[in-house]
Amino acid sequence: MNNSVLNLLSYGVYVVTTLDGDRSVGCIANCAMQITYDTLCVSINHDNYTNGCIKKSKKFAISILGEHVNDAVIPTFGFNSCRDIDKFEKTKTVKIDGLDILTDSVGYVICELTGEFETETHTVFVGKMTAGDVLKQDIPMTYDYYHKVKKGKSPKAAPTYQEETSSPKTVAYKCKICGYIYEGDITKEPDTYVCPICKKDKSYFEKI
């Protein structure tokens, strides 16, 4: 199968938030869709800490990211785990119905969990919409825009993840955290160089 055909499907970029007891948790998702007039679904990898928290809390929120969202949002929520860090420490949010909504999003929807379906790698959560609003004027970011304009990569937990390969070059380096490929000799970069996706320094790159 030619997996590149899947790039022609339309996806958005979202931050899905929920609760771990009283603590807010969340992750990046790119598969969210309206399936009836009052029902949404979202796909979350089994390995994401957020997955189990949605199952326990029975509710989730979707913050819809725009093209001009702060550059730190996707690395924070897409390439880190709530097991290890507080993703909300440096992220501006507002509490709505008990859930954190990113103020730097174009809008949000809050859902009460009504069903879940398991696949080999992901849970598809179905929720009844209970609240939602537009927060600011911006163009909602598509996954195509994220890759072609932002030059972003897919986390391994993403449904759309594909193993990245480098173009033919003399040398290339791959970030061990997010998979970003630096084409050329990264050792010639200054010590202040960081990965454009997950913001790790060049010591996290390995030669490929």
Q: Could you tell me the pTM of the whole model?
A: 0.78
**Of 62-66, 75-79, 168-172, 174-178, which gets the smallest average pLDDT?**
168-172
pLDDT at 166: 46
How crowded is the C-beta side of 176, counted as CA atoms within 13 Å?
Answer: 7
Is a pLDDT exceeding 80 seen at residue 165? no
pLDDT at 164: 52
Helix residue ranges, H only, 58-190:
73-78, 143-148
pLDDT-derived band at 181, boundaries 50, 70, 90: confident
Topology classification of domain 172-207: Rubrerythrin, domain 2 (2.20.28)
Helix residue ranges, H only, 61-206:
73-78, 143-148
* CATH 2.30.110.10 location in the chain: 10-148
Enumerate residues 6+ apart whose C-beta is below 8 A from 128.
38, 39, 111, 112, 114
pLDDT at 153: 58
CATH number of 10-148: 2.30.110.10
pLDDT-derived band at 179, boundaries 50, 70, 90: confident
Condensed to tens digits (0 to 9), the pLDDT of residues 12-41 reads 999 999 999 999 999 999 899 999 999 999
Residue 163: how many CB atoms within 10 A of its CB? 8
Cα of 175 vs its chain's centroid, Å: 17
Condensed to tens digits (0 to 9), the pLDDT of residues 124-159 reads 999 999 999 999 999 999 887 777 776 655 555 555
Condensed to tens digits (0 to 9), the pLDDT of residues 67-105 reads 999 988 998 999 888 998 999 998 999 999 999 999 999
**How does DSSP classify residue 141?**
P
* CATH 2.20.28.10 location in the chain: 172-207
Residue 13: how many CB atoms within 10 A of its CB? 26
